[in-house]
Amino acid sequence: MNIVHVIVSMDLATGGPPVVASRLAIAQAGLGNEVSLLTYAVDTDAAPQPFELPLAGTERVRLHSLAAPTAWQNLTGRAVAHWLRGQPQPDIVHLHGVWDPMLRAAASVTLDRGGKYCLAPHGMLDPWSLRQRRWKKRLALAMGYRGMLDHAAFLHLLNRDESRLIEPLGLTAPRVVIPNGVFLDEIDPLPARGTFRAAHRAIGDRPFVLFLSRLHYKKGLDYLADAFEIFAKQQPEPHLVVAGPDGGAQPGFEKAIAAKGLAERVHVVGPLYGRDKLAAMVDASCFCLPSRQEGFSIAITEALACGLPVVISDACHFPEVAQASAGEVVPLDAGAIAAALGRVLDDPDLAKRMGEAGRALIQTRYTWPKIAEQTVALYRQYAAAM
């Protein structure tokens, strides 16, 4: 098949969608499909390019980076429309995201040419997300984005909760649930134990809880600070490592930690990518993400693949973690989070069993080749209905 993925930015600091779009494209190309990825160019000097990874199929994905648009070009999506019109009609266009003129322009051109597109909202239609800048998003829906959603061949949703939670919008496009995954080739072989500790000597040989995500209000850093305060009073030894690019919440988090007298036990280490990220997961005792909303967290999936037990909020919409006994899924409550961390760190045998269960869960259900097969089957189904 001829497949085109469209995403506004491939900047890894923007979160999970660039990772998802690139890995899904690579996996689909690995199945023998002709795959292109269309995006706006960004300055990626501070982060590794996702297409530099030595993965099967990478060389068959064509990355098209359009010049960063002017304000007018961004509003109209003209460059995107021009590029698509200059290409052979793809069998399907896969849009990643919702609230950008680039995506609306790509959808419009595809329909004008008699083609089909699907759309992955990446959690952007979740009720919590819609409450952020609520009136702006309501206006956007009324001004054309609802039509973009309704005319999709299908909406690519990441979990059953996401499908259920968008029902009040009354969208008419079919909803299909396909999760995210990992390339096991990116995980294995894991870095040697102690690699991360050697680079962060202040941790020493103490156990530590790892938070790895954007430092954004959505990610629940305020809950994490309160939970770690409770946990630290009960557990005098473990530290907390907070990794990720600042999304606006870092100053407030650091201030809260200092006010609680925990600065010596909390390490904010900035973004971690590639092997550095995996090294942190290998050395950690537990991964924790108390997020207010997630579609399908890449970080959780990677932690599980590394054999790391996880403590996550129920708003992460990943109940399979608890079902597989790979970690704990708890309410978004500081006391509940602290108690779950205590249960994992108090029982090394339990933590080991959770890690093994998490690794098995990923191997059997959440790898990109399996997910690519599911998406391509759907593409064929909807392309045949043209």
Whether residues 55 and 203 share a domain: the answer is no
The pLDDT value given to residue 323: 97
Amino acid identity, position 101: P
Whether residues 124 and 226 share a domain: the answer is no
Whether residues 109 and 249 share a domain: the answer is no
The pLDDT value given to residue 12: 77
Alpha-carbon gap, residue 216 to 283, rounded angstroms: 24
Alpha-carbon gap, residue 7 to 356, rounded angstroms: 34
Whether residues 174 and 212 share a domain: the answer is no
Whether residues 100 and 218 share a domain: the answer is no
The pLDDT value given to residue 10: 87
Mean pLDDT for the chain overall:
91
Whether residues 173 and 279 share a domain: the answer is no
Residue 302's domain is classified under what CATH number? 3.40.50.2000
Decide if 18 contacts 12 (C-beta within 8 A).
yes
Whether residues 245 and 272 share a domain: the answer is yes
The model's confidence at residue 340, banded by pLDDT at 50, 70 and 90, is: very high
The model's confidence at residue 367, banded by pLDDT at 50, 70 and 90, is: very high
Amino acid identity, position 59: E
Whether residues 103 and 232 share a domain: the answer is no
Q: Per-residue pLDDT tens for 268-295?
A: 999 999 899 999 999 999 999 999 999 8
Distance of CA 118 to the CA centre of its chain: 18
The pLDDT value given to residue 245: 93
Whether residues 18 and 124 share a domain: the answer is yes
Whether residues 148 and 223 share a domain: the answer is no
The model's confidence at residue 49, banded by pLDDT at 50, 70 and 90, is: very low
Mean pLDDT calculated for residue range 234-238: 94
- As for how many domains the chain has, the answer is 2
Domain range spanning residue 298?
Answer: 184-365
Whether residues 9 and 60 share a domain: the answer is yes
Whether residues 79 and 154 share a domain: the answer is yes
**First-to-last C-alpha distance (Å) of the chain:** 14
